[in-house]
Amino acid sequence: MAASLRARTAPATVTPEERNRVYRRFDLVVAILLFFLFMGLYHVVTMLTVGDWDFWDDWKDSRWWLSFTPVAEIAMPSAILFIFWSRFRLPFAATFLTFSLVAAEWLNRVLNMHGWAYFPLNFIWPATLIPCGLALDTTLLLSDSILIAGIVGGFLWGVVFYLANWPLIAPFLAPVNLHGALMSLADLQGFHYIRTGTPEYIRIINRGTLRTFGQDPVYLSVAFAGFMSIVVYMVFVGVGWLFVKSQFSWFKKI
Amino acid sequence: MIRSRTTCRTAARRALLILVCATLLPAIAYAHGERAQEPSLRLSTIQWYDTTWSSQQVSVNQELVVTGRFHIMGSWPLEIPSPTTLTFLNVGVPGPVFTRAESEVNGVNGVSSMALQLGGDYAYRIVLRGRLPGRYHVHPMLDVLDAGAILGPGQWVTVVGDPASFDDWITTLTGRRLNLVSYGLRTVIGWHLVWVALALVWLGYWIRKPLLMPRYAAVQAGEGDRLITRGDRMMAAVMLAATLVTAIVAFAVTNVANPVTIPLQSHQTKVPALDEPPASVTIEPETVTYLVPGRTVQFHLRVTNHGAQPVRLGEFTTANLRFLNASVSRADPDYPPDLLAPAGLLVQPNRPIAASESIEMYLEATSPVWETDRLTALMSDPTSRIGGLFMFFDPAGKRSIVEFSSSIVPTFTGHLVGEL
C-alpha cells in the first residue's frame, strides 16, 4: 500500500531530457488535436458566413467575394492569434488555421461535392487564405505588437486575398457567347452543371453601385476588405483577450 | 421485475440494432420528394402540360430534349410569393448527372432569370446532355424567388455509357477551344500547392521547436520577449517577402496569361406570355367537394360555351396529374403512367356543349393519387383551394384551356355516380 502510494506521488520525470521528451509528445498531441479541431471549427464558420461564395466558381465575383470573404474569415484567426501570442509567443496561429481550413475544404469538395454530388472539381474549388495568414503572422512577429499586426497585417490580409486568388479565378472569367448571351466560363459552368437548389437569381454577385467610383469595383472592394479586416481583427483580438482572461486558469494547473 | 427489466433491455438492444441498420443501410431516394411539397403549391400555382421527353434512354454526351408548356395561375395564392418578380427555369435531376446545354422560355434564352405574368402560358425547351450513367427522374422545374422550386411532371430516363467519355467543349470569344470538364483545374491545384508549401515551411520552422509548456512557463515568468530570436525575425522577414512576392508575381503572370476577362454576368429579363386567343369556354364552380371514402373530387360546374363550335371536355389536369375523359382524349403512350389517373374523368353529361350553350356539369375525378400523392393534405392548408386546367376540344381538335380555381370542402358521407 505504502509502496504504491509512493509510486503514485513520485515525479513522472527525473531528467531534463525526459521532461523535454514528455513536453514534445504533449506538443504533438495538442498540435494534432488542434489541427482537426480547427479544420472543423473554421470550416463550419466559413460555410456559415462565406458559404456559396466559396463553393462555386460563378459566385466568386469582384465585389462580394473579394470583400466579404477576408472580412468574415479574419475573425477566428485574430482571436486564436492573440491566445497563441500572449500565452506562448507563437506567431503561427493564422497560418495554422488557414492551412487547416484549406485541408478541410478540399476534403469536403473532393469527397462530398465531387464524390457524392458529382460536381466537377474545377467548378467547386475553394479559395486560399494561406497567404493572408502568413502575412498576418509574420507582421505580428516582426512588429512584436498586436496593434501594428492588426493595422499592417490586417490590411495585408484583405489585399493579399485578392492577389493570391486572382490566378485561380481569372482563367474562368474568359468570355463566351451562349446563344446571344455574354457569359464568363464560370457563369457557363453554373448553367451547365445543374444545381436544383441554387437558381441563377439567388447569386449575390456584383450587386451595388461601387462602379460609380471607377471602371472596375475590384480595387475599391479590395481596399474596403483591407480596412474592414483591420476592424474585425481588433474586435476579435478582444474576444481572444476575454478568453485568455477567463479560461486560462486551467492551463496553469497542468 | 427482473423479467420486465430483461424485456426492456432486449427491446432497447433491438431498437439500437434497427437504428444502426437504418443508418448504415439507407434507402436510396430516386425521385425528388415532389409528393412532399405542400398541396397548395402543386394545385394552385403552376400547371404543367404538354410535357414531352425526347427519349427514355440516352448515352453519355447524347442530348435529351424536354419540352412543354406551363400555365401560371391567375388566381395565384396570396400566401405564396408569385413569379412576377423572378423565376428560373431549372431541371429537377439529382445533381449534374446531366448537363444543361441550353434552355429557353417563349424563345428567350434560359440562362436568364425571368419575371413572368400571372395567368400567362409559356412554352419551354430544355436541352440536356447525358453525363453520368444511371436511371434518373427528370422534371422540368421553375424556381420562384422566395417560394422555392415547383416541379413539373417527371419521367424516368436512363443514361448509359462510359462516364469518362463525357466532354464539354467550349470556344471562348477569344477563339480558344477548351474542355470545360477539366479546364483550369491544374492551375487551381498548382497555386494551392504553392501556398500549402509556403505554409508548411513556416509551420515546420515553429513546430520543430518546443512549443507549449516551456514557452508558457517563460511567458508567465516575464521572459516572453526572449523567446523570439534574431533568427525568428529573419525567418519572418523572408516569409513575408516570399508571400508578397509570390502573390504579386502570380497576379502579374495571370494578367499576362488572361488578357481578356469579364466580370460574372447576371441575366434578368421579363418574358411576355404566349399570345393565345382567349378561351371560348367559361366555368363557374357551384360546389367542389372531396369525398374522402371514395378518394374522389366531385365538381358541380356551370359551363358556358361562348365559341362558334361545339366543344367537349377532354381533360382536367392539376398538380402534374391528368384525369382524361376516355371518350375524348388519350395520352401519349410514352407519358409516365403514374401521372395518369387510372379511372380517368367521369363527365355528366358526356356530350358536346353546343355553341352559346350553358349547362350544368357534374364531374368525378377519382383516383388513389389524391391520397398517395398527399394532395388531400390540402385540408390542413390555410387556404383549402383546388386549382387546375380544364381542356375542351372542338370537332376539329382545337383545344381551349380554361383555368379553374375554387374552394374545396371535404365530405365523409356521400356516394359516387357509379354507386347509384
| C-alpha dihedral (A12, A16, A17, A22), degrees to nearest 10 | 40
pLDDT at A6: 55
ipTM: 0.92
- Residue type for position A181: A
Residues in B closer than 8 angstroms to A182, CB to CB, are: 173, 262, 265
Q: Give pLDDT tens digits for B43-64.
A: 899 999 999 999 999 999 999 9
Stretch(es) of chain B classified as CATH 2.60.40.1580:
281-419
The boundaries of every CATH 2.60.120.570 domain in chain B are: 34-169
Alpha-carbon gap: B262 to the closest alpha carbon of chain A (Å): 6
Q: Which of A159-168, B133-142, B171-180, B260-269 has the lowest mean pLDDT?
A: B260-269
Region B255-284: mean pLDDT is 91
Asked if A80 and A93 count as a contact pair (C-beta separation under 8 A), the reply is: yes
Mutate which of A63, A155, A160, A201 to disrupt the B interface (most B C-beta within 10 Å)?
Answer: A201
For residue B107, name the pLDDT band (cuts at 50, 70, 90).
very high
SS3 readout for chain B? CHHHHHHHHHHHHHHHHHHHHHHHCCCCCCCCCHHHCCHHHHHCCEEEEEEEECCCEEEECCEEEEEEEEEECCCCCCCCCCCCCCEEEEEECCCCCEEEEEEEECCEECCCEEECCCCCEEEEEEEEEECCCEEEEEEEEEEECCCEEEECCCEEEEEECCHHHCCCEEECCCCCEEECCCCCHHHHHHHHHHHHHHHHHHHHHHHCCCCCHHHHHHHHCCCHHHHCCHHHHHHHHHHHHHHHHHHHHHHHHHHHHCCCCCCCCCCEEECCCCCCCCCCEEEEEEEEEEECCCCEEEEEEEEEECCCCCEEEEEEEECCEEEECCCCCCCCCCCCHHHECCCCEEEECCCCECCCCEEEEEEEEECCHHHHCCHHHHHHCCCCEEEEEEEEECCCCCEEEEEEEEECEEECCCCCHHHC
Q: Is any Cβ of chain A less than 8 angstroms from the Cβ of B258?
A: yes
All three cell numbers of B134, joined, read 444511371
Q: What is the pLDDT of residues B284-326, one digit of tens each?
A: 999 999 888 888 999 999 999 999 999 999 999 999 999 999 9
Q: Do B95 and A195 touch (CB under 8 A)?
A: yes
Cβ of B109 within 8 Å of Cβ of A173? The answer is no
pLDDT for A213: 61
Q: Which of A72-81, B218-227, B273-282 has the highest mean pLDDT?
A: A72-81
Q: Please judge whether B233 and A96 are an interchain contact, meaning their C-beta atoms are less than 8 angstroms apart.
A: no
B182 contacts in chain A (CB < 8 Å): 120, 122
Tell me the C-alpha distance between B224 and B205, whole Å.
Answer: 18
Neighboring chain B residues of A172 at a CB cutoff of 8 Å: 183-184
Residue ranges of B 343-372 with Cβ closer than 8 A to chain A: none
Intervals of CATH 1.10.287.710 along chain B: 185-257
Instruction: Kindly state the average pLDDT of the residues B137-159.
Output: 94
Q: How many helices (H) and strands (E) does chain A have?
A: 13, 2
**pLDDT of A181-202, one tens digit each?**
999 999 999 999 999 888 888 8
Q: What is the mean pLDDT of chain A?
A: 90
Look at A27-41, B8-22, B267-281 and tell me which has the smallest mean pLDDT.
B8-22
Beta-carbon separation of B199 and A118 below 8 A: no
A178 touches chain B (CB under 8 A): yes
Which residue has better confidence, B157 or B20?
A: B157
CB contact under 8 A, B93 and A139: no
Q: Mean pLDDT of all residues in chain B?
A: 90
**Inter-chain touch B227–A128, beta carbons under 8 Å:** no
Radius of gyration of the CA atoms of chain B, in A:
31
| A157 vs A13, more confident | A157
Domain B185-257 sits in CATH at 1.10.287.710
Write out pLDDT tens, residues B356-397: 999 999 999 998 888 887 777 766 777 788 999 999 999 999
**Hey, is the C-beta of A168 within 8 angstroms of any chain B C-beta?**
yes
How distant is the Cα of B181 from the closest Cα of chain A, in angstroms?
7
CATH of domain B281-419: 2.60.40.1580
Of A72, A69, A81, A86, give the one whose Cα is nearest residue A38.
A81
> What percent of chain B has pLDDT above 90?
70
* Residue of B264, B268, B269, B270 to mutate, testing the A interface (most A Cβ within 10 Å of its Cβ): B264
pLDDT at A41: 96
Using the predicted structure, report yes or no on whether residue A241 has a pLDDT greater than 60. Answer: yes
User: Please, which residues 217-256 of chain B have a Cβ atom closer than 8 Å to chain A?
Assistant: 218-220, 224-225, 227-228, 232-233, 236-237, 239-240, 243-244, 246-248, 250-251, 253-255
A 189-228 near B (Cβ less than 8 A): 189, 191-197, 199-203, 205-206
pTM of the model: 0.88
| Cβ atoms < 10 Å from Cβ of B296 | 23
Does pLDDT of B32 surpass 80? no
**Which of A106, A163, A252 lies closest to B247 in CB terms?**
A163
Q: In what order do the strands lie in the sheet with B321-324?
A: B321-324, B312-318, B385-393, B399-407
For range A102-121, the mean pLDDT: 96
Domains and CATH numbers, chain A: 42-248 (1.20.1450.10)
B32 in A contact zone (CB under 8 Å)? yes
Residue pair B187/A128 in contact (Cβ under 8 Å)? The answer is no
State how far the Cα of A244 lies from the Cα of A80, in Å rounded to an integer. Answer: 10
Gyration radius of chain A's alpha carbons? 23
- Of the candidates A188, A179, A197, A190, the residue with the CA atom closest to the CA atom of residue B125: A179
Cell of A100: 487547416
Per-residue pLDDT band at B140 (split at 50, 70, 90) = very high
- Write down the pLDDT at residue A17: 86
pLDDT at A45 over 80: yes
Q: Mark yes or no for CB contact B109/A180 under 8 Å.
A: yes
Residue B8 has pLDDT above 90, yes or no: no
Lookup result for grid cell 405564396: B80
> Measured between CA atoms, how close is B344 to chain A, in angstroms?
32
In chain A, what residues touch B104 (CB-CB under 8 Å)?
A: 179
| Candidates A58, A91, A122; nearest CB to B185 | A122
Q: Give percent of chain A above pLDDT 90.
A: 74
Give the architecture (CATH level 2) of B34-169.
Answer: Sandwich (2.60)
Q: Which letter does DSSP use for residue A127 in this model?
A: P
Question: Are residues B247 and A164, on separate chains, in Cβ contact within 8 Å?
Answer: yes
Say which of B198, B211, B250 has its CB closest to residue A27: B211
Is a pLDDT exceeding 70 seen at residue B87? yes
Most confident among A5-9, A217-221, B31-35, B245-249 (mean pLDDT): B245-249
pLDDT at B118: 96
